[in-house]
Protein backbone atom coordinates (compact mmCIF):
# COMPACT_ATOMS: atom_id res chain seq x y z
CA UNK A 1 0.00 0.00 0.00
CA UNK A 2 1.30 3.46 -0.90
CA UNK A 3 0.83 6.21 1.68
CA UNK A 4 1.45 9.86 0.79
CA UNK A 5 -0.30 12.55 2.89
CA UNK A 6 -3.62 12.57 4.76
CA UNK A 7 -6.46 13.87 2.64
CA UNK A 8 -6.93 17.08 4.63
CA UNK A 9 -3.27 17.95 4.05
CA UNK A 10 -3.54 17.08 0.36
CA UNK A 11 -6.46 19.45 -0.12
CA UNK A 12 -4.36 22.32 1.28
CA UNK A 13 -1.06 21.35 -0.36
CA UNK A 14 0.25 24.28 -2.44
CA UNK A 15 4.00 23.90 -2.99
CA UNK A 16 6.17 26.48 -4.71
CA UNK A 17 6.35 26.17 -8.48
CA UNK A 18 9.77 25.81 -10.17
CA UNK A 19 8.90 28.28 -12.94
CA UNK A 20 11.59 29.46 -15.37
CA UNK A 21 11.48 33.16 -16.20
CA UNK A 22 11.07 32.47 -19.92
CA UNK A 23 8.38 29.78 -19.62
CA UNK A 24 5.80 31.69 -21.67
CA UNK A 25 8.35 32.83 -24.24
CA UNK A 26 9.57 29.24 -24.63
CA UNK A 27 6.11 27.92 -25.43
CA UNK A 28 5.19 30.88 -27.64
CA UNK A 29 8.33 30.26 -29.66
CA UNK A 30 7.74 26.52 -29.80
CA UNK A 31 4.17 26.79 -31.10
CA UNK A 32 5.05 29.60 -33.52
CA UNK A 33 7.72 27.38 -35.04
CA UNK A 34 5.32 24.44 -35.28
CA UNK A 35 2.67 26.52 -37.03
CA UNK A 36 5.09 27.42 -39.80
CA UNK A 37 4.40 23.91 -41.09
CA UNK A 38 1.15 23.29 -42.94
CA UNK A 39 -1.15 21.33 -40.62
CA UNK A 40 -2.14 19.18 -43.60
CA UNK A 41 -4.71 17.12 -41.69
CA UNK A 42 -5.84 14.14 -43.79
CA UNK A 43 -8.84 12.02 -42.73
CA UNK A 44 -8.93 8.75 -44.65
CA UNK A 45 -12.08 6.62 -44.19
CA UNK A 46 -11.01 3.43 -42.44
CA UNK A 47 -12.77 0.11 -43.14
CA UNK A 48 -14.43 -1.03 -39.93
CA UNK A 49 -17.12 -3.45 -38.79
CA UNK A 50 -18.19 -0.96 -36.11
CA UNK A 51 -21.82 0.09 -36.40
CA UNK A 52 -21.87 2.99 -33.95
CA UNK A 53 -19.20 5.23 -35.48
CA UNK A 54 -17.57 6.20 -38.74
CA UNK A 55 -13.80 5.79 -38.48
CA UNK A 56 -11.07 7.92 -40.05
CA UNK A 57 -7.35 7.19 -40.10
CA UNK A 58 -5.76 10.58 -39.42
CA UNK A 59 -2.39 12.06 -40.33
CA UNK A 60 -1.40 15.64 -39.51
CA UNK A 61 1.77 17.68 -39.02
CA UNK A 62 2.96 17.97 -35.43
CA UNK A 63 6.20 19.31 -34.04
CA UNK A 64 8.76 19.96 -36.78
CA UNK A 65 6.16 19.12 -39.44
CA UNK A 66 6.51 15.45 -38.48
CA UNK A 67 3.66 13.15 -39.52
CA UNK A 68 1.51 12.23 -36.49
CA UNK A 69 -1.10 9.49 -36.68
CA UNK A 70 -4.48 9.40 -34.97
CA UNK A 71 -8.03 8.17 -35.15
CA UNK A 72 -11.21 10.16 -35.53
CA UNK A 73 -14.47 8.39 -34.65
CA UNK A 74 -17.72 10.22 -35.40
CA UNK A 75 -21.07 8.87 -34.17
CA UNK A 76 -22.80 7.29 -37.14
CA UNK A 77 -25.84 9.22 -38.28
CA UNK A 78 -24.90 12.36 -36.38
CA UNK A 79 -26.72 15.43 -37.66
CA UNK A 80 -24.57 18.52 -38.00
CA UNK A 81 -21.18 19.11 -36.38
CA UNK A 82 -20.83 17.38 -33.01
CA UNK A 83 -18.65 18.08 -29.95
CA UNK A 84 -15.30 16.31 -29.94
CA UNK A 85 -13.08 14.93 -27.17
CA UNK A 86 -9.38 14.96 -28.04
CA UNK A 87 -7.87 12.00 -26.21
CA UNK A 88 -4.25 11.60 -25.12
CA UNK A 89 -2.64 8.30 -24.15
CA UNK A 90 -0.78 7.00 -21.11
CA UNK A 91 2.93 6.28 -20.98
CA UNK A 92 4.18 3.63 -23.39
CA UNK A 93 0.88 3.29 -25.24
CA UNK A 94 -0.16 4.17 -28.76
CA UNK A 95 -3.41 4.85 -30.56
CA UNK A 96 -4.36 1.15 -30.63
CA UNK A 97 -7.38 0.16 -32.69
CA UNK A 98 -10.66 2.01 -33.30
CA UNK A 99 -12.60 -0.42 -31.11
CA UNK A 100 -10.59 0.89 -28.12
CA UNK A 101 -12.26 4.32 -28.41
CA UNK A 102 -16.01 3.76 -28.43
CA UNK A 103 -16.80 5.42 -25.09
CA UNK A 104 -17.34 9.01 -26.23
CA UNK A 105 -19.08 8.14 -29.52
CA UNK A 106 -21.52 6.13 -27.37
CA UNK A 107 -22.58 9.44 -25.80
CA UNK A 108 -22.97 11.12 -29.19
CA UNK A 109 -19.59 12.91 -29.29
CA UNK A 110 -16.71 12.48 -31.68
CA UNK A 111 -13.32 11.38 -30.36
CA UNK A 112 -9.96 12.33 -31.84
CA UNK A 113 -7.18 10.05 -30.55
CA UNK A 114 -3.60 11.31 -30.85
CA UNK A 115 -0.90 8.70 -31.28
CA UNK A 116 2.15 9.32 -29.05
CA UNK A 117 5.28 9.66 -31.14
CA UNK A 118 7.90 7.01 -30.45
CA UNK A 119 5.64 5.10 -28.05
CA UNK A 120 3.20 2.26 -28.53
CA UNK A 121 5.45 -0.71 -27.90
CA UNK A 122 5.21 -0.58 -24.13
CA UNK A 123 3.27 -3.81 -23.82
CA UNK A 124 -0.31 -2.60 -23.76
CA UNK A 125 -1.46 -0.67 -26.87
CA UNK A 126 0.24 -0.37 -30.24
CA UNK A 127 1.37 2.87 -31.82
CA UNK A 128 2.06 3.90 -35.41
CA UNK A 129 4.03 7.15 -35.14
CA UNK A 130 7.81 7.45 -35.17
CA UNK A 131 9.80 10.12 -33.38
CA UNK A 132 12.22 11.30 -36.09
CA UNK A 133 14.23 13.33 -33.57
CA UNK A 134 17.08 11.15 -32.31
CA UNK A 135 17.58 12.97 -29.02
CA UNK A 136 21.05 13.88 -27.88
CA UNK A 137 23.23 12.44 -25.19
CA UNK A 138 22.74 9.36 -23.03
CA UNK A 139 19.35 8.38 -21.67
CA UNK A 140 17.75 5.74 -19.50
CA UNK A 141 15.35 3.28 -21.22
CA UNK A 142 12.04 5.01 -21.97
CA UNK A 143 11.48 8.63 -23.05
CA UNK A 144 11.68 10.47 -19.72
CA UNK A 145 15.34 11.44 -20.18
CA UNK A 146 15.40 11.74 -23.98
CA UNK A 147 17.09 15.08 -24.60
CA UNK A 148 16.67 16.09 -20.95
CA UNK A 149 19.86 18.16 -20.96
CA UNK A 150 18.14 20.97 -22.92
CA UNK A 151 14.47 22.11 -23.03
CA UNK A 152 14.68 22.58 -26.81
CA UNK A 153 15.74 18.95 -27.29
CA UNK A 154 13.49 17.35 -24.67
CA UNK A 155 11.03 14.70 -25.84
CA UNK A 156 8.00 16.28 -24.18
CA UNK A 157 8.49 19.52 -26.10
CA UNK A 158 7.65 17.52 -29.20
CA UNK A 159 4.83 15.53 -27.62
CA UNK A 160 3.06 18.55 -26.12
CA UNK A 161 3.36 20.40 -29.42
CA UNK A 162 1.84 17.41 -31.23
CA UNK A 163 -1.02 17.61 -28.74
CA UNK A 164 -1.79 21.26 -29.46
CA UNK A 165 -1.74 20.50 -33.17
CA UNK A 166 -4.12 17.58 -32.56
CA UNK A 167 -6.75 20.04 -31.33
CA UNK A 168 -6.15 22.18 -34.40
CA UNK A 169 -6.46 19.12 -36.66
CA UNK A 170 -9.69 17.96 -35.02
CA UNK A 171 -11.22 21.39 -35.61
CA UNK A 172 -10.71 21.09 -39.37
CA UNK A 173 -13.04 18.12 -39.86
CA UNK A 174 -16.54 19.16 -41.02
CA UNK A 175 -18.25 16.71 -38.65
CA UNK A 176 -16.62 18.36 -35.61
CA UNK A 177 -17.94 21.52 -33.95
CA UNK A 178 -14.73 23.57 -33.55
CA UNK A 179 -16.27 25.57 -30.70
CA UNK A 180 -16.98 22.50 -28.55
CA UNK A 181 -13.66 20.72 -28.05
CA UNK A 182 -12.60 19.00 -24.84
CA UNK A 183 -9.28 17.35 -23.99
CA UNK A 184 -8.90 14.19 -21.95
CA UNK A 185 -6.30 11.76 -20.72
CA UNK A 186 -5.00 9.71 -17.82
CA UNK A 187 -1.46 9.54 -16.42
CA UNK A 188 0.79 10.77 -19.24
CA UNK A 189 -2.42 11.57 -21.11
CA UNK A 190 -3.55 13.61 -18.12
CA UNK A 191 -0.28 15.54 -18.18
CA UNK A 192 -0.79 16.29 -21.86
CA UNK A 193 -4.41 17.36 -21.33
CA UNK A 194 -3.26 19.69 -18.54
CA UNK A 195 -0.58 21.26 -20.73
CA UNK A 196 -2.98 21.73 -23.65
CA UNK A 197 -5.57 23.32 -21.35
CA UNK A 198 -3.04 26.12 -20.81
CA UNK A 199 -1.72 26.30 -24.37
CA UNK A 200 -5.16 26.28 -26.06
CA UNK A 201 -7.27 28.67 -23.96
CA UNK A 202 -10.61 28.34 -25.83
CA UNK A 203 -11.37 24.71 -25.00
CA UNK A 204 -14.74 23.73 -23.55
CA UNK A 205 -13.17 21.70 -20.72
CA UNK A 206 -10.37 19.35 -19.70
CA UNK A 207 -10.54 15.89 -18.14
CA UNK A 208 -7.29 15.41 -16.21
CA UNK A 209 -7.06 11.97 -14.62
CA UNK A 210 -4.23 10.85 -12.28
CA UNK A 211 -1.86 13.21 -14.17
CA UNK A 212 1.82 12.47 -14.62
CA UNK A 213 4.59 15.12 -15.04
CA UNK A 214 3.36 17.22 -12.08
CA UNK A 215 5.54 18.41 -9.19
CA UNK A 216 8.22 16.33 -10.85
CA UNK A 217 11.17 16.74 -8.51
CA UNK A 218 9.00 15.95 -5.50
CA UNK A 219 7.69 12.85 -7.28
CA UNK A 220 11.21 11.50 -7.79
CA UNK A 221 11.82 11.92 -4.07
CA UNK A 222 8.81 9.95 -2.85
CA UNK A 223 8.23 7.13 -5.35
CA UNK A 224 10.41 4.47 -6.96
CA UNK A 225 7.76 3.60 -9.55
CA UNK A 226 8.30 4.11 -13.24
CA UNK A 227 8.25 6.37 -15.18
CA UNK A 228 9.53 8.77 -12.50
CA UNK A 229 12.16 6.17 -11.60
CA UNK A 230 13.75 6.74 -15.02
CA UNK A 231 14.69 10.22 -13.84
CA UNK A 232 16.05 8.95 -10.54
CA UNK A 233 18.23 6.39 -12.33
CA UNK A 234 19.60 9.06 -14.66
CA UNK A 235 20.37 11.40 -11.78
CA UNK A 236 21.99 8.57 -9.84
CA UNK A 237 24.41 8.04 -12.72
CA UNK A 238 24.88 11.68 -13.79
CA UNK A 239 25.30 13.24 -10.38
CA UNK A 240 26.75 16.43 -11.84
CA UNK A 241 23.68 17.05 -14.04
CA UNK A 242 20.90 16.92 -11.47
CA UNK A 243 20.15 20.66 -11.46
CA UNK A 244 20.36 20.77 -15.25
CA UNK A 245 17.80 17.94 -15.46
CA UNK A 246 15.27 19.65 -13.21
CA UNK A 247 15.76 23.00 -14.91
CA UNK A 248 14.73 21.37 -18.19
CA UNK A 249 11.79 19.62 -16.53
CA UNK A 250 10.47 22.91 -15.14
CA UNK A 251 9.37 23.86 -18.67
CA UNK A 252 7.16 20.77 -18.73
CA UNK A 253 5.93 20.55 -15.13
CA UNK A 254 2.15 20.47 -14.89
CA UNK A 255 2.17 22.92 -11.99
CA UNK A 256 3.29 25.69 -14.32
CA UNK A 257 0.63 24.84 -16.89
CA UNK A 258 -2.01 24.60 -14.15
CA UNK A 259 -1.32 28.16 -13.04
CA UNK A 260 -2.09 29.33 -16.59
CA UNK A 261 -5.18 27.21 -17.30
CA UNK A 262 -8.60 28.84 -17.31
CA UNK A 263 -10.89 26.20 -18.84
CA UNK A 264 -13.18 24.13 -16.57
CA UNK A 265 -11.37 20.97 -15.46
CA UNK A 266 -12.27 17.69 -13.80
CA UNK A 267 -9.36 16.04 -11.98
CA UNK A 268 -9.17 12.61 -10.39
CA UNK A 269 -6.78 10.96 -7.95
CA UNK A 270 -6.29 7.55 -6.37
CA UNK A 271 -5.01 7.86 -2.82
CA UNK A 272 -3.07 4.58 -3.13
CA UNK A 273 -1.36 5.62 -6.34
CA UNK A 274 2.39 5.02 -6.26
CA UNK A 275 2.90 5.96 -9.91
CA UNK A 276 1.52 9.51 -9.75
CA UNK A 277 1.50 10.10 -5.99
CA UNK A 278 -1.54 11.99 -4.63
CA UNK A 279 0.50 14.98 -3.47
CA UNK A 280 1.69 15.55 -7.05
CA UNK A 281 -1.88 15.43 -8.37
CA UNK A 282 -3.25 17.73 -5.66
CA UNK A 283 -0.36 20.13 -6.24
CA UNK A 284 -1.50 20.52 -9.85
CA UNK A 285 -5.17 20.74 -8.89
CA UNK A 286 -4.55 23.29 -6.15
CA UNK A 287 -2.50 25.51 -8.47
CA UNK A 288 -5.08 25.23 -11.25
CA UNK A 289 -6.32 28.74 -12.05
CA UNK A 290 -9.59 27.87 -13.76
CA UNK A 291 -12.84 26.33 -12.46
CA UNK A 292 -12.02 22.87 -11.17
CA UNK A 293 -13.41 19.81 -9.48
CA UNK A 294 -11.62 16.82 -7.98
CA UNK A 295 -12.87 13.24 -7.66
CA UNK A 296 -11.04 11.29 -4.95
CA UNK A 297 -10.85 7.48 -4.93
CA UNK A 298 -9.44 6.54 -1.51
CA UNK A 299 -8.91 2.82 -2.16
CA UNK A 300 -7.70 3.00 -5.74
CA UNK A 301 -4.22 3.24 -7.17
CA UNK A 302 -3.10 4.41 -10.58
CA UNK A 303 -6.17 2.93 -12.23
CA UNK A 304 -8.15 5.74 -10.62
CA UNK A 305 -11.92 5.56 -10.61
CA UNK A 306 -12.23 3.33 -13.68
CA UNK A 307 -15.77 3.02 -15.10
CA UNK A 308 -17.31 4.93 -12.20
CA UNK A 309 -15.09 7.86 -13.04
CA UNK A 310 -15.94 7.58 -16.74
CA UNK A 311 -19.55 8.26 -15.79
CA UNK A 312 -18.44 11.29 -13.75
CA UNK A 313 -16.53 12.50 -16.79
CA UNK A 314 -19.54 12.01 -19.05
CA UNK A 315 -21.72 14.14 -16.78
CA UNK A 316 -19.03 16.84 -16.63
CA UNK A 317 -18.65 16.78 -20.42
CA UNK A 318 -22.39 17.00 -20.99
CA UNK A 319 -22.59 20.15 -18.88
CA UNK A 320 -19.53 21.74 -20.50
CA UNK A 321 -20.38 20.80 -24.10
CA UNK A 322 -24.06 21.54 -23.82
CA UNK A 323 -24.93 18.24 -25.46
Q: What is the predicted pLDDT for the residue at 174?
A: 97
Would residue 197 show up in a list of annotated catalytic residues for this protein?
no
Q: How far is CA 128 from CA 94, 96, 116, 118, in A?
A: 7, 8, 8, 8
Query: How confident is the model at residue 315, as a pLDDT?
Result: 98
pLDDT of 52-77, one tens digit each?
A: 999 999 999 999 999 999 999 999 99
pLDDT, tens digit, for every residue of 212-258?
999 999 999 999 999 999 999 999 999 999 999 999 999 999 999 99
Helix ranges (H only) for the chain are 7-12, 23-34, 103-106, 155-170, 188-199, 216-222, 228-237, 242-249, 254-258, 278-287, 306-321
Q: For position 166, what pLDDT does the model report?
A: 99
Instruction: Render 116-159 in DSSP notation, one character per residue.
Output: -TT-S-SSSS-----------S---SSSTTTTTT-TTT-HHHHH
Mean residue pLDDT of the chain comes to: 96
Binding residues for substrate: 91
What is the C-alpha to C-alpha distance for residues 90 and 85, in angstroms, rounded to an integer? 16
Higher confidence at residue 163 or residue 3?
A: 163
Instruction: Say what the alpha-carbon torsion angle 106, 109, 113, 114 is, to the nearest 10 degrees.
Output: -160
pLDDT at 290: 98
Considering 273, 279, 287, 309, which one is annotated as catalytic?
273
Domains, the chain, ordered by start: 7-321 (3.40.50.1820)
| Known binding positions | 91
Percent of the chain topping pLDDT 90: 94
pLDDT of 1: 60
Closest CA to 118 of 141, 143, 152, 87: 143
Least confident of 17-26, 117-126, 189-198, 226-235: 117-126
- Please say if 28 is a catalytic residue: no
Determine which one of 66, 149, 302, 309 is catalytic.
302
The structure's pTM equals 0.98
Pick the catalytic residue from 4, 57, 184, 187. 187
| pLDDT band per the 50, 70, 90 thresholds, residue 89 | very high
Does residue 187 have an active-site annotation?
yes
- Model confidence at 135: pLDDT above 80: no
Amino acid sequence: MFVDMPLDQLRAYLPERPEPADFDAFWDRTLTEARKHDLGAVFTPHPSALTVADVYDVTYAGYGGHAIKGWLLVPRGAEGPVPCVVEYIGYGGGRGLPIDWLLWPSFGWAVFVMDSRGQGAGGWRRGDTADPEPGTGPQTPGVMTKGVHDPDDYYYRRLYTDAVRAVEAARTHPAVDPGRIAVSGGSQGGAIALAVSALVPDLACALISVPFMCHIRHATQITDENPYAELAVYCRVFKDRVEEVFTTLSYFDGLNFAARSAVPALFSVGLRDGVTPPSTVFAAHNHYAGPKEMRVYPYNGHEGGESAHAMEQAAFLRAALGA
